[in-house]
Structure 1
Amino acid sequence: MTPDAEFGYELLVCRYAELTWHPSEGSRPAIVSRQLGTQERRWDTVVLEVDPEAFERRRAFGDRTIDSDLLHVVRGAPAEWAWYRDALPDPGYPWRYVRQAVHRAAGRDLIEKRRRNNRIQLRRVRPYPDWVERIVAVENKPDLDRSAADRLADQLTHDIETGLADEAWLATETTGERVEPALLREMPVEAGILATDFDNGVDADAVDVAWHPSDLAPGEGERRDRETETLRLEIAERAYGKGWRSYHDTMRPDCRHFELRRDGRALLPYCAAKGKVPTARECSGSCSEFSPEPPQWRTKGWPIEGGPGKGFERVLARRRERERDRAENVE
């Protein structure tokens, strides 16, 4: 059993997906993120299977998320100069918000803009690529009991019916013991089931496919509606910018007790005061054990711009960038 059954397990599943995806059909270039979705549904783990060449073109737009307003501008920007209201499709909301997005997009060098005859014109820097091949949703539940099985069955059924994901999985922990078949039968037949045992590390041998998923993508000649496709792309952009190591954004790496510790091929947050992997709720300024790192730490062997906490953030950022490089360079 992983420390902190929910959060720690989620991070290990993310690392497994990053290292060895796909579970049953061979290696595929992929980007992994966590805790993403829509207002109605949030997925524990999101796996983006990408086209390496198109993904390289997406990276040319930078490392940050392109949000929904910016996507409207970047995807619609013409090859030649044009007034933004002629060039872009009707957004369905006031054009003044589009104008603001045009300014933001130009400020990030996502497009070019100029003013002619008191009108704002724009043109694209480069075409926005079709870089996402498939979106896979994974629900993580290490301790699968009856109540959890009922709840997850409803959630996975929702995923299947909405058509946002191309594939849906449940990941649950065995720790050497058999998962109760009756609980697995509660799951919709379209969802795959991963039986995991991370006691000896995170690799392909730590996971067995207990049930293969159905392909939820539309059949030949069919297409998702425009709203669903837009939602999928917005989720993909958030996953690209966020990754799964962004837990430091909601935790306190500047606490003297915060550490990063290796668990096999995974690097997890660790609280030295509590001797466990903390959750974001626990690792906060309101924690009774919270103790800010002293200023002296920032001048003794650490870069001048920060202490150990900033160092942890840079380590996690470098690892996210390395995985982007790997997805881009898969042949």
Structure 2
Amino acid sequence: MIPDSEFGYELLVCRYAELAWYPGADPRAEIVSRQLGTQRRRWDTVVIEVDPEAFAARRAFGDRSLDSDLLHVVRDAPEGWEWYRDALPDPGYPWRYVRQAVHRAAGRDLIEKRRRGNRIEIRRIGPYPDWVERIVAIENKPDLDRSAADALADQLAHDVETALADEVWLATEATGDRVEPALLRSMPVEAGILTTGFAVEETRTDGFAVDETAAAVDWLPSDLAPGDPGGRDPETVTRRLEIAERAYGKGWRSYHDTMRPDCRHFELRRAGRALVPHCAAKGRCPTVRECSGSCPEFSPEPPAWRTRGWPIEGGPGKGIRELLERRRGRVRDRVASDRDGF
């Protein structure tokens, strides 16, 4: 079986993408995140293909994401000292908000600032790199019945039309039929189809597992990027960079921020080469909505658990958070280095 919730399936797709991107081809440097997009459209899984050398330069600006205001300052900060209103392009909104962003950027060591008389001058610590090569959006639907397919077709058609992403994919669990149902649905021909084989007969977890061979390409997507490198308008370029920055800061393991790993029933279980949440009280992977302080089964860790020291100093919940954050950091280190195959 596959996880009981689409959330659980989404985590498996994210881990597969982290292990085996690009499907059916040579590996590419990438970071993976989830539940990102714009106000009008949110993607389940987002793959940011990056230039490893430029990505390493991006890491010099820290592990946290840069919001739109910080990007305005960091991308345009001058090489030498200048008054910030001379150095930065007109933002289209009051300069007092830019001044606040300047102070935030300096507080995070993203730029340098100094006061000359009654003016604030800034200069960059280094050029902000062009680290994003491509953005790939993946919509996840493990059980693709007809009603789900109809809704997905409209969503994917919107993604193809707006071309905010360079590629659009549908990920669905393989059925074993001679022709997979995803190929028979009325999906946009520009969208790729990835059939996953996470379900396994025997496992020590919940009947699903992830490795590099756990998916197959049934239909290759079209490249939605404009042929002219300058074909995207500046607003779209900025929106894409904002999405990439959120993906960089968030990653896909950030579910611990919206769930309750401090509950005594919260566990991480191995599913092949993935770790997924498991609720011991429910006996399955919970949804983000279920795993909250309002859950009838929620039981906070006893205070004694948080004072025992190594190996779970601070309690199991804190240990889970630190484990997931370390894994996210290792992925960033791997991408920034020259891995074999890139």
Please indicate, yes or no, whether the TM-score normalized by the shorter chain is above 0.5: yes
Structure 2 runs not aligned, ≥5 long: 201-208
Q: Compared with structure 1, are the counterparts of its residues 178 and 62 closer, same or farther at alpha carbon in structure 2 (3 Å cutoff)?
A: farther
2:221 to 213, 221, 230: 213
* In structure 1, C-alpha distance between the alignment counterparts of 2:311 and 2:113, rounded to whole Å: 38
Letter in 1 for 2:155: Q
* In structure 1, C-alpha distance between the alignment counterparts of 2:134 and 2:182, rounded to whole Å: 30
Once the two structures are overlaid, the 10-residue window that deviates more, 175-184 or 60-69, is 175-184
C-alpha displacement of 1:236:
0.2
Aligned to 2:323: 315
Q: Deviations over 1:244-273 (max 9, x none)?
A: 000000000000000011011000011001
Secondary structure class of the residue paired with 2:103: helix
Q: Compared with structure 1, are the counterparts of its residues 61 and 215 closer, same or farther at alpha carbon in structure 2 (3 Å cutoff)?
A: same
Aligned to 2:235: 227
Once the two structures are overlaid, the 10-residue window that deviates more, 286-295 or 181-190, is 181-190
Q: Compared with structure 1, are the counterparts of its residues 97 and 25 closer, same or farther at alpha carbon in structure 2 (3 Å cutoff)?
A: same
8 Å contact kept, 1:70–1:105: yes
Aligned positions of 1:117-266 closer than 5 A = 117-177=117-177, 180-181=180-181, 184-200=184-200, 201-220=209-228, 222-266=230-274
Once the two structures are overlaid, the 10-residue window that deviates more, 67-76 or 194-203, is 194-203
Percent of residue pairs identical: 78
C-alpha displacement of 1:184:
4.0
Q: Does 1:42 align with 2:50?
A: no
Aligned structure 1 segments of 4 or more residues deviating by more than 3 angstroms = 175-185, 301-305
C-alpha displacement of 1:326:
1.1
* In structure 2, C-alpha distance between the alignment counterparts of 1:9 and 1:304, rounded to whole Å: 28
8 Å contact kept, 2:5–2:287: no
Secondary structure class of the residue paired with 1:204: coil
C-alpha displacement of 1:24:
2.6
Q: Deviations over 1:118-177 (max 9, x none)?
A: 101100001000000000000000010111111111111111111210000000001434
C-alpha displacement of 1:181:
4.1
Structure 1 runs not aligned, ≥5 long: none
Aligned to 1:112: 112
Q: Deviations over 1:29-74 (max 9, x none)?
A: 1000000000000000000000000000000100001111000000
Count residues with an aligned counterpart.
331
C-alpha displacement of 1:183:
5.8
Secondary structure class of the residue paired with 2:90: coil
Letter in 1 for 2:325: A
